[in-house]
Amino acid sequence: MLGYVRAFKPELKLREYEIYRGVYCSLCKALGRRYSPLAQLFLSYDFAFAALLRLAAADGGCSFAQSRCPYRPAKKCLRCEQTALFDACADALIITVYYKVVDDLRDPGFFSRLRAALLFSLVWLMHRKAAKASPEAERAVAEAMEQQRATEQAGQAGIDAAADASAQALGALASLDAPQAKQPALRTLGYMIGRYVYLLDAADDLARDRKRGAFNPFAQERIDTPEARRAFAARVRGMLNLTQRAALDALDALQAPRFGEILENIVLDGLDQSAARVLAAYEGGAQKTKRFTVE
């Protein structure tokens, strides 16, 4: 995943920010413990969201202990004590990274293939362990990749069909091991987040994909004049809004017993920020400084 799903800090309370950081640190720790310190290189805030979502929906409470980070010993951080849950998240992360690397190996560009080949040698062994530990996650992601490849080979697919595979995979990952009653909402929420990220990433990579002749669901869109670019950005924003609204509805249906505010911050403000960052390139006048308004 690509760093689009993250909290928007100015709107977080200190307490929420501490917990969010704590979840991130706990996932990092789980990666180091279960795989190797090299696995920590793959850590991203997207998976901190995935872990937070699992924590929020899990039965029973959630406890934290203060500890220190070996990379930044001066700074204390919270560490979550529900280690089994973080191990499962770490597995899902490794599986996702592995399939992303496998996908990059088929890339048309030489350098990205070279990079993927290096990463592949790094992640291959880790993936074997992860696939054995979480067969369901492995199946979900593998199926999604298969479906994605079939869609891409079929040529020009509709937006919905193109986004379906990765959205399905995220839906499956989000609802794995969750309490039965929460599963439908988690699946929908995961689906919508996956769809959002897919659409945003496709818009982000449009120019690059076009140059290299790679598949992109927006390939038919015109972005040659400033007006066309602005119109394209508006259309993408409309699609993203529809998806975000569905994600928010799923979040309401989830009725998370804890961390609801942080999740809402990520799904509403966090995604908005990512969309603004990507679409600024099409709307003209790229934002160099981050802006934040208080009404």
Partner 1 sequence: MRDPYDILGVPRGATEEQINAAYREKARALQDSGAGDGQLEELNSAYDAVIMQRASAGGRYTYAGAYSGNDYADIREKIRANRLEDAQVLLDGIPDARRDAEWYYLKGTVQQKRGWLEEAASNFARAAQMDPDNKTYRAASDQVNQTRSGGYRTERRSNGDSGCSARNICSGLLCADCCCECMGGDLVPCC
Binding residues for partner 1, rule: CB under 8 A, are 158-161, 164, 167, 188, 191-192, 195, 237-239, 241-243, 245-246, 248, 264, 268, 272
Helices 159-175 and 183-204: angle between axes, nearest 10 degrees: 140
Least separation in angstroms between residue 191's CB and partner 1 is 5
- End-to-end Cα separation, the chain, in angstroms: 33
If the CB atoms of residues 133 and 159 are measured against partner 1, the closer one turns out to be 159
Q: Which amino acid is at 140?
A: A
Least separation in angstroms between residue 48's CB and partner 1 is 22
If the CB atoms of residues 134 and 188 are measured against partner 1, the closer one turns out to be 188
From CA 53, how far away is CA 58, in angstroms rounded? 9
Task: Pinpoint the alpha helices (H) of 35-109.
Answer: 45-57, 83-105
If the CB atoms of residues 55 and 170 are measured against partner 1, the closer one turns out to be 170
Q: How far is CA 237 from CA 64, 83, 181, in A?
A: 38, 38, 32
Least separation in angstroms between residue 67's CB and partner 1 is 32
Least separation in angstroms between residue 239's CB and partner 1 is 6
Q: How far does CA 220 lie from the centroid of its chain?
A: 26
228 Ramachandran zone, left/alpha/beta (phi>0; psi -120 to 50) = alpha
If the CB atoms of residues 107 and 264 are measured against partner 1, the closer one turns out to be 264
Least separation in angstroms between residue 243's CB and partner 1 is 6
If the CB atoms of residues 122 and 242 are measured against partner 1, the closer one turns out to be 242
**Encoded tokens for 43:** 């850590």
From CA 260, how far away is CA 69, in angstroms rounded? 26
If the CB atoms of residues 70 and 238 are measured against partner 1, the closer one turns out to be 238
From CA 75, how far away is CA 73, in angstroms rounded? 5
